[in-house]
Structures are given as C-alpha cells and as structure tokens.
Amino acid sequence: MIIIILLLLLLVIIIIIIIIIIIIITIIIIITIIIIIIILVIIIILVSVKY
C-alpha cells in the first residue's frame, strides 16, 4: 500500500515538473518572439527615418 502511495506521489511530482518546464519554455519562446518583433520594428523605423 505504501509503495503505491509513493509511486503516485512520484508521478504527481514528475507531472508537476514537466508542466513547470513546459511553462518556462513557452515563456522563453514568447519573450524571444517579442524581442525579435521589437528589433524588427526598430530596424524598420531606422530605415524609414534614413530614407
């Protein structure tokens, strides 16, 4: 009985860790996309000001 409870706990912990990792990865992706968009906008503004 105790072993089953421990296994369930382990499973829950693993699931939580996976969810956290997925959240972190999506946040990183979103941040990089935002940074790329900002850089593109800045480049476009600079180019349009130049010409």
What is the model's pLDDT at position 50?
Answer: 80
Residue range 7-34, pLDDT digits in tens: 999 999 999 999 999 999 999 999 999 9
Give the span between the Cα atoms of 48 and 46, in whole angstroms: 6
| Secondary structure of residue 51 in the 3-state scheme | coil
In the numeric block, which tokens belong to residue 2? Answer: 């105790």
Please provide the distance, in angstroms rounded to a whole number, between the alpha carbons at the two ends of the chain: 75
pTM > 0.95: yes or no: no
- C-alpha dihedral over 36, 38, 40, 42, to 10 degrees? -150
Single-letter amino acid code for the residue at 12: V
